[in-house]
Amino acid sequence: MNQEYIIPDPWSIIEEGFDAELVKSSESLFSIGNGAMGQRANFEEDYSGPTFQGSYIGGVYYPDKTRVGWWKNGYPEYFAKVLNAPNWIGIRVSVNGENLDMNQCEVAQFRRELNMKEGYYRRSFVATLQNGTQIEVESTRILHLDHDELGIINYAIKALNRDAEIVFSPYLDAGITNEDSNWDDQFWEILNVSNENDQAFIRSRTMKTHFDVCTYMQSKLYVNGTSSDVSPEMETKEKSIWAHYNVSVREGQTATLQKYAGYVVSLNHEPDALLGAAKNILQKGTSLGYEALQQSQAQAWAKVWEMADIAIEGDVEAQQGIRFNIFQLNQTYSGKDARLNIGPKGFTGEKYGGSTYWDTEAYCIPFYMATKDQQVARNLLKYRYDQLGKAIENAGKLGFTKGAALYPMVTMNGEECHNEWEITFEEIHRNGAIAFAIYNYERYTGDTSYVPEMGLEVLIAIARFWHQRATFSTAKDQYVILGVTGPNEYENNVNNNWYTNYIAKWCIKYAIRMIERVEKDSPNDHERIMNKTQLSLEEMKAWNKVAGAMYFPYSDEHSVYLQQDGFLDKELVTVEDLGKENRPINQKWSWDRILRSPYIKQADTLQGFYFFEDHFTVEELERHFDFYEPFTVHESSLSPCVHSIQAAKLGRMEQAYTFYLRTSRLDLDDYNKEVEEGCHITSMAGTWMSIVEGFGGMRVKNGELHFTPQIPEQWTSYSFKINFRGSIIKVSVDKDQTHFTLESGPTVTLVLNSERITIN
């Protein structure tokens, strides 16, 4: 934890002072994105120090051949890789003949700011070059939310101590590589490097997946705010293209280069039309101009914050943390495009390769449901519906039949694409989260149309999977589920993981309930789906038999469900008694030692208590929390949020607050010493849940909102807004009371601590 690093501020992420050791971490934290593309906060000018270059385009990936020791049947063939895309931000700068490189000159007054309110990233510093010239640099970068193919950079240099001959050389560079590559394959083919006057273009194509991308740029030069009509000298190389702008400034004067650049992609345009599309966006961008674009960007972000902000008074670090989380979630996924999803690192790094994990359904959907139009969450559900065919194929490869679906653990296009058998084959609980998300969506939005239109087919295919995946144990006279990995990835190939068995049973029961409802309410859809799936009553009966006789390991001694059959055989030493020198165990211990230890990476049994809270009494929750949390090492970013919510539910506000801080400032304070690899995007939605569901106690029951607000001792007040079925409700909580405001939409009746309130 490094609490000195990021300066507390309610609306901005700020770093002051240049520390080359922190460059890679800051490149992650100051990342910007607009849902369609994004990038790490790499410097525009040359930098010869350690850096992790990354610029990413939503939906553009490479199927990198997997690395396995000994190939076995059913192993996925590739691990999709988020792709480092051509660099469009680069501006090489020469001042009085010397190349500007922060690693080669004296740097003072260095400052970075990620302004979350208005959506820009700004960096400024004073450099004293080796030739003695002193300059002040200020660079501002925007990825526009509305014009999501466009990026703008405003790069200003002031000559501080003498006249300066400045050469700005904005460039595009397609000669890039991935840090994370299994076989050092080339990922991109360069088709064409060209320019028309001062507009430059690189056409490139991903190997194998054949995404065509046109990276483009055009720049404008200003001296002391006045447009200069200097024409650049264009230079075309094999993999890059450069525009050289020469300008002389007097001491005290400022030269500014505005670079308009970005990507147009064959996901959104015909490949032949990419060049034209790039010219159109350049035409639009340059004619609007930097100032107007900055203003409209601020307005677009204001709209986001109007719905999604959480304000905390009395605790600026908590405030900064939650806004950073909300900001990054909105940078990663806008919900406009049902083909996209929420990668665990968003646009801030390459790790975890493929884009979509169960994180989306288990952690992200509640945030997007409550802070966006319901269409956004529906698009996330539709993403899985669109991939149902591939999920059925995936199950088929593992020997399942008759339309059973196993959704992938990691995917870009619906195919499974993770390296490790203990994850792909065994972490099958992910199927449950996908069904639960449908239930959760309907519970929250009240939109009963999704199930008959799309969801039911998914539910049937998932129920079929669980039915086939369960094994009848003659010894137990019940159904067991053998050889799984639960949410706790620090165990694998276990039998009867309680969470998996529980959600399997629930999935079957829910699918049957939905089939019956659709039959009654939407007979046409029912007929269509029954024809398509060829589902028979006999098959449903067989499902029901499995669900009705599912085995759940239970300890009479402890009065708790057991995480899996063998849990009580472990050496049950709590984390507190473990000794700090062993932590984090994933860095200190060998894998086999972790596997046979009792330590839990993230909520496992408790994840089931979170999803199915209503099925259990508070006493049962407390018992399980007290049994499992002491063995939980929270070494997954997805762990603290669930525990925070449950601690709050149990009235343990101090503990809930500790977990909250850990989740909300995980990256800002770099708890896990790995932020340089990128930020933990999906767990950020868990942070939001910690406040809204944890402290605020928000639940939806029988179509009504319920709240049981509490407030951490450290806070004066907090407030959040939610979109509940078209009503925008602001919930403000202080030490004494809770205040509800209906900001727009129809009157809402809600339940505050069991008291029914109508707000209008």
Binding mask 379-418 for its own copies (x = CB under 8 A): ------------------xxx------------------x
Residue 266 or 564 having the CB closest to its own copies = 564
**Number of neighbouring beta carbons within 10 Å of residue 65:** 13
Find all residues with CB under 8 Å of 278, minimum gap 6, and list them.
199, 201, 214, 216, 264
Shortest distance, position 354 Cβ to its own copies, whole Å: 13
Helix (H, G, I), strand (E, B) or coil at 351: coil
Residue 61 or 479 having the CB closest to its own copies = 479
Answer whether 466's CB lies under 8 Å from 545's CB. no
Q: How far is CA 410 from the centre of its chain?
A: 13
Shortest distance, position 37 Cβ to its own copies, whole Å: 27
Shortest distance, position 494 Cβ to its own copies, whole Å: 8
Q: Which of 226, 287, 474, 744 touches its own copies by CB under 8 A? A: 474
Spatial separation of the C-alpha atoms in residues 34 and 333, rounded to whole Å: 7
Shortest distance, position 81 Cβ to its own copies, whole Å: 13
| Candidate segments 194-202, 588-596, 688-696, 717-725, binder of its own copies by CB under 8 A | 588-596
Shortest distance, position 364 Cβ to its own copies, whole Å: 23
| Candidate segments 62-70, 148-156, 511-519, 604-612, binder of its own copies by CB under 8 A | 62-70
Residue 423 or 742 having the CB closest to its own copies = 423
Shortest distance, position 345 Cβ to its own copies, whole Å: 15
Shortest distance, position 590 Cβ to its own copies, whole Å: 3
Residue 66 or 240 having the CB closest to its own copies = 66
Residue 105 or 410 having the CB closest to its own copies = 410
Q: Which of 49, 74, 132, 651 touches its own copies by CB under 8 A? A: 74
Q: Which of 745, 637, 740 is nearest to 698 (CA)?
A: 740
Residue 581 lies near its own copies (rule: CB under 8 A):
no
Residue 495 or 719 having the CB closest to its own copies = 495
Residue 49 lies near its own copies (rule: CB under 8 A):
no
Find all residues with CB under 8 Å of 367, minimum gap 6, and list them.
329, 685, 688, 689
Residue 250 lies near its own copies (rule: CB under 8 A):
no
Could you say which residues in the range 524-563 bind its own copies, by CB under 8 A?
Answer: 557
Could you say which residues in the range 78-97 bind its own copies, by CB under 8 A?
Answer: 79
User: b/e string for 547-581 if b means 16 or more Cβ within 10 A?
Assistant: beebbebeeeeeebbbbbbebeeeeeeebeebeee
Residue 472 lies near its own copies (rule: CB under 8 A):
yes
Shortest distance, position 562 Cβ to its own copies, whole Å: 10
In Å, how far are 207, 460, 501, 555 from 481, measured between CA atoms?
Answer: 40, 19, 7, 18
Residue 586 lies near its own copies (rule: CB under 8 A):
yes
Q: Which of 373, 565, 620, 674 touches its own copies by CB under 8 A? A: 565
Residue 75 lies near its own copies (rule: CB under 8 A):
yes
Binding mask 432-471 for its own copies (x = CB under 8 A): ---------------------------------------x
Q: How far is CA 227 from the centre of its chain?
A: 40
Q: Which residues are part of the catalytic machinery?
A: 489
For residue 66, the 8-state DSSP code is P
Residue 73 lies near its own copies (rule: CB under 8 A):
yes
Helix (H, G, I), strand (E, B) or coil at 62: strand
In Å, how far are 458, 502, 542 from 547, measured between CA atoms?
Answer: 18, 9, 9
The H or E element spanning position 374 is: helix 374-386
Find all residues with CB under 8 Å of 578, minimum gap 6, and list them.
599
Answer whether 639's CB lies under 8 Å from 589's CB. no
CA dihedral 373, 375, 381, 385 (to 10 degrees): -170
Residue 69 lies near its own copies (rule: CB under 8 A):
yes
Q: Which of 226, 534, 590, 747 touches its own copies by CB under 8 A? A: 590
Q: Which of 389, 387, 503, 502 is nearest to 437 (CA)?
A: 503
Q: How far is CA 135 from the centre of its chain?
A: 38
Residue 400 or 707 having the CB closest to its own copies = 400
Shortest distance, position 565 Cβ to its own copies, whole Å: 6
| Candidate segments 301-309, 314-322, 476-484, 701-709, binder of its own copies by CB under 8 A | 476-484
Spatial separation of the C-alpha atoms in residues 482 and 360, rounded to whole Å: 26
* In the block, residue with structure tokens 């230890």: 597
Could you say which residues in the range 484-513 bind its own copies, by CB under 8 A?
Answer: 492-495
SS3 of 670-717: the string is: CCCCCHHHCCCHHHHHHHHHHHHHHHCCCEEECCEEEECCCCCCCCCE
The H or E element spanning position 127 is: strand 120-128
Residue 572 lies near its own copies (rule: CB under 8 A):
yes
Shortest distance, position 568 Cβ to its own copies, whole Å: 4
Residues at the site binding its own copies, with contacts judged by CB under 8 A: 66-70, 72-75, 79, 397-399, 418-421, 425-426, 471-476, 480, 482-483, 492-495, 557, 565-566, 568-572, 586-593, 595-596
